[in-house]
Amino acid sequence: MELQIQEFTTIPEMLAQIETIRFLYPNLSAEKYEKYLSAMVPHNYTQIVVFENNICLGITGCWSATKLWTGKYLEIDNFVVNPEHRSKGIGKLLTDYIEQKALALDCSSIVLDAFTGNFAAHRFYYNQGYGPKGFHFVKVLDENKLTL
């Protein structure tokens, strides 16, 4: 398997891989995706993408920011690997890249959210050295606005 990893910084590059993002968000329209990316990209959002023979096998978004408790950090967002290509090291390739990026940006930590019922993701992140530090509480105000 000859894998290539690329970092996308533009909306057209990201939009071109919507089918892979749809493994995570099956009902995401191109219009909504473009609207959200237009709001995210100006805030340091990029995507790390793994290809094999020009076929996208996995994507993770990430962005850096600063909080009082952690200082500068890198957040993983929208981590997805094509179900037909899971357990082939693609997720590890993405997290390794993210870690090197976080170190290069002089971040203190890497953070992410995983849904409480996504036990496969929990196991994967534990195996990569991640652990829970707290709870991410959510109060949904309008379910119709959610992508999931």
Token representation of residue 128: 């990569």
Note the pLDDT of residue 57. Answer: 97
Q: Are 58 and 90 in contact (CB under 8 A)?
A: yes
Closest CA to 86 of 50, 111, 54: 50
Note the pLDDT of residue 147. Answer: 85
Note the pLDDT of residue 1. Answer: 62
pLDDT per residue as tens, the chain (148 positions):
689 999 999 999 999 999 999 999 999 999 999 999 999 999 999 999 999 999 999 999 999 999 999 999 999 999 999 999 999 999 999 999 999 999 999 999 999 999 899 999 999 999 999 999 988 888 999 998 888 7
Q: Is the pTM of this model over 0.85?
A: yes
